[in-house]
Amino acid sequence: MPGITASHRRKFTMFGKNCPLITISLCRYYMTTAADDLAIVYKDGGILSFIVTRFRTPCQKSGGENAVLECTMKFGSWVYNNQQLDLQRLFPDNNEADLSNYELNPTWEILNATVVQNVNTYECCPEGYTDITYTFKFREIQDL
């Protein structure tokens, strides 16, 4: 039987009240908002951390009574180029966003959700910088 190669831990049990592995500001973050988040500690000392995050984005409203909200979220890096960060879509042959884990909302219905991968180049930096842009269209559910 092979030895243990990884251990799944709650972050709070790894960092505890003294947080010896990270700075005080990160310590406060982990203790207050991510105490139940999971991390994997590998036998070579590496840590893979899963941080639960909530994103907020402004949306454009169009129409009157049956208004549609269009919200765009762009993920990418201004620091790491394509040779340093291999940012890819989960399903590259499909422009529909994966909504398999979406939880229905009693107020809004999703009309459309798309995902597009863009590569931008700049005069200073010909390597290319990738972003992945999600666009969601919502409509308020009308009471019958």
Whole-prediction pTM value?
A: 0.62
β-strand pairing of 68-76 with 59-62: antiparallel
Direct distance between the N- and C-terminal alpha carbons of the chain, in angstroms, rounded to an integer: 62
pLDDT mean across residues, the chain: 75
* Any domain includes 100: yes
Q: Is residue 81 part of a domain?
A: yes
What is the CATH number for 104? 2.70.170.10
For residue 1, being part of any structural domain is answered with no
Count Cβ atoms below 10 Å from residue 39 Cβ, excluding itself: 19
pLDDT in tens, 97-129: 888 888 888 888 999 999 999 999 989 888 999
